[in-house]
């Protein structure tokens, strides 16, 4: 166990808070000023991403300005007066358990200011900061920023917390005021303690020199999980309770999945595809359950009780598959699937191969005459497997031998294909007549075709 003084412990809590609300600063003591960064020029409209996406979750009311919240009502961080988030925090220091405590965030003072909205975010914890501290945030149409004095003193401009939502995709990046970059790792639909929701996971390496930080936000809720990991410390924060500030208290109600969670989610996704026409989104997803749903969909499997469900926006949760006439999202195992459609494959015709034609080609590229025999044939069963050549006649004074060959069975034979024979003339002038037949796996013999080759 590593002993820590009160001063050191207090700094750890405040450093952690700074990382949470700022989403990472450069490796420096935040009480010391740094050279200001260039002033940020505010955009006049929501920026358009260069990549088009086909996401299954359309813009919801959580993405539009609401009275009292303005543009701070972000789809992944809905800001309302009085909204609060309660987190359970666990620490581990060099392998030894650290403190465990609760931390609470509360929004207050939401008000419009010129071209933006601002609000205060108060944070307190049960470990060493019961009274709490507040920091100033602001929002415009480009996203949510930390506008506190520490940020302005350190960077000379507000620090972006979240850019405008609705177009997140894996690989999406955005910059802090100092030019450091965040990378979005995942956009997926998953089971959370607050329902099956779209989530984004993003991170940045080495804020404060503490290692890697990963943030997970859920649509309509906010930050639900944060992990800081380095060689000496691990800090995990998980959301345990959330109040939207609109009188809607939301406590964790784990999604009641049956034993096979993956199967339930696969069926949920199939219902989402059928109701929301979001096939392309799930086709691009890396989720195993999505891949399985796509595989079944491509087989022709469908939800047979789709009339029992509907797809709609539920409160701040965004798009959900619910029971018809209800706001309750479904248990995936209630989704009933059809059997794969029966494909009536015709029985083999059990017919012999048929040779349509033989075309001869003279080739002198090697310096000697080679005659290629292109044999065009068809086998409706696709099982032709052997070709036989018979010497019918050759100019007197000359002799020759023929060599049969194997044929690779293929469905190409059904509609017609070709194989080539090779005759090396050697020296002299003479004519040779051959007869060719083809056999198949059923023991059938094709028609015979004769042709004469002239060597000179």
244 & 273 share domain: no
Decide if 26 is inside a domain. Answer: yes
Scored b (16 or more CB within 10 A) or e, 400-425 reads eeeeeeebeeeeebeeebebebebeb
Question: Does the pLDDT at position 433 exceed 90?
Answer: yes
pLDDT given for residue 165 in this prediction: 59
Query: Pick the residue with more confidence: 58 or 111?
Result: 111
pLDDT exceeds cutoff 70 at 59: no
The 10s digit of each residue's pLDDT in 397-421 is 988 888 899 999 988 999 899 999 9
Distance (Å, whole) CA 162 – CA 22: 10
The stretch 80-102 carries a mean pLDDT of: 84
Backbone φ and ψ for 293, nearest 5 degrees, come out as -60, -40
What secondary structure, in 3-state letters, does 319-377 show? EEEEECCCCCECCHHHCCECCCCCCCCCCCCCCCCEEEEEEEEEECCCCCCEEEEEEEE
- Quote the CA–CA distance of 139 and 65 in Å, as a whole number: 11
What are 263-294's pLDDT values in tens digits? 888 898 899 899 987 888 888 878 888 899 99
**Better-scored residue on pLDDT, 23 or 94:** 94
Q: Average pLDDT, whole number, for the chain? A: 75
Task: State the pLDDT at residue 390.
Answer: 94
- The whole-number pLDDT of residue 155 equals 66
> What is the per-residue pLDDT for 439?
94
Q: Based on the domain organization, do 90 and 239 belong to the same domain?
A: yes
Residues 169 and 28 in one domain: yes
Whole-model pTM over 0.75: no
**Higher-scoring residue by pLDDT: 65, 369:** 369
Answer yes or no: do 60 and 109 share one domain. yes
Q: Among 215, 250, 285, identify where a domain stops.
A: 250
Above 60 in pLDDT, residue 250?
no
Q: Are residues 273 and 367 in the same domain?
A: no
What's the domain range around 323?
Answer: 261-334
Confidence of residue 257 (pLDDT cuts 50, 70, 90): very low
The reply to whether 242 and 303 lie within a common domain is no
Residues 212, 277, single domain; the answer is no
Give the count of domains, the chain: 3
Residue 41: inside a domain, yes or no? no
Do 154 and 21 sit in the same domain of this protein?
Answer: yes
């Amino acid at each position: 166990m590593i002993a820590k003084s009160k001063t050191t412990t207090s700094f750890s809590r405040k450093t952690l808070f700074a990382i949470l609300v700022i989403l990472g600063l450069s490796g420096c003591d935040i009480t010391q000023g740094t050279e200001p960064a260039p002033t940020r020029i505010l955009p006049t409209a929501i920026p358009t991403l260069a990549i088009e996406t086909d996401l299954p979750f359309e813009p919801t009311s959580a993405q539009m300005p609401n009275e009292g919240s303005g543009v701070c009502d972000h789809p992944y961080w809905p800001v309302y007066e009085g909204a609060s988030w309660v987190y359970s925090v666990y620490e581990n220091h060099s392998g030894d358990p650290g403190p465990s405590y609760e931390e609470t965030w509360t929004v207050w003072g939401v008000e419009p200011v010129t071209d933006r909205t601002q609000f205060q975010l108060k944070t307190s914890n049960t470990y060493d900061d019961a009274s709490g501290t507040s920091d100033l945030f602001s929002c415009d149409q480009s996203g949510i920023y930390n506008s506190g004095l520490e940020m302005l003193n350190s960077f000379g401009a507000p620090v972006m917390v979240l850019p405008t939502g609705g177009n997140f995709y894996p690989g999406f990046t955005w910059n802090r005021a100092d030019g450091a970059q965040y990378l979005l790792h995942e956009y997926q639909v998953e089971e959370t303690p607050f329902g099956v929701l779209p989530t984004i996971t993003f991170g940045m390496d080495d804020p404060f020199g503490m290692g890697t930080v990963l943030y997970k936000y859920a649509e309509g809720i906010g930050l639900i999980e944060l992990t800081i990991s380095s060689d000496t410390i691990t800090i995990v924060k998980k959301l345990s309770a959330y109040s939207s500030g609109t009188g809607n208290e939301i406590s964790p109600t784990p999604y009641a999945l049956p034993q096979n969670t993956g199967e339930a989610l696969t069926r949920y996704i199939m219902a989402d595809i059928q109701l929301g026409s979001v096939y392309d989104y799930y086709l691009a997803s890396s989720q195993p359950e999505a891949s399985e749903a796509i595989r079944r969909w491509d087989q022709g499997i469908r939800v047979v009780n789709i009339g029992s469900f509907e797809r709609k926006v539920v409160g701040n949760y965004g798009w959900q598959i619910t029971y018809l006439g209800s706001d309750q999202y479904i248990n995936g195992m209630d989704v009933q699937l059809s059997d794969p459609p029966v494909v009536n494959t015709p029985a083999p015709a059990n017919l012999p191969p048929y040779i349509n034609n033989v075309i001869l080609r003279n080739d002198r590229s090697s310096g000697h005459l080679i005659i290629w025999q292109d044999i065009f044939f068809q086998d409706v069963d696709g099982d032709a497997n052997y070709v036989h050549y018979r010497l019918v006649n050759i100019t007197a004074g000359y002799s020759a031998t023929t060599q049969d060959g194997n044929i690779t069975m293929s469905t190409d034979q059904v509609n017609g294909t070709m194989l080539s024979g090779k005759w090396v003339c050697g020296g002299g002038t003479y004519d040779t007549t051959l007869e060719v037949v083809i056999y198949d796996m059923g023991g059938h013999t094709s028609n015979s075709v004769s042709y004469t080759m002239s060597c000179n």
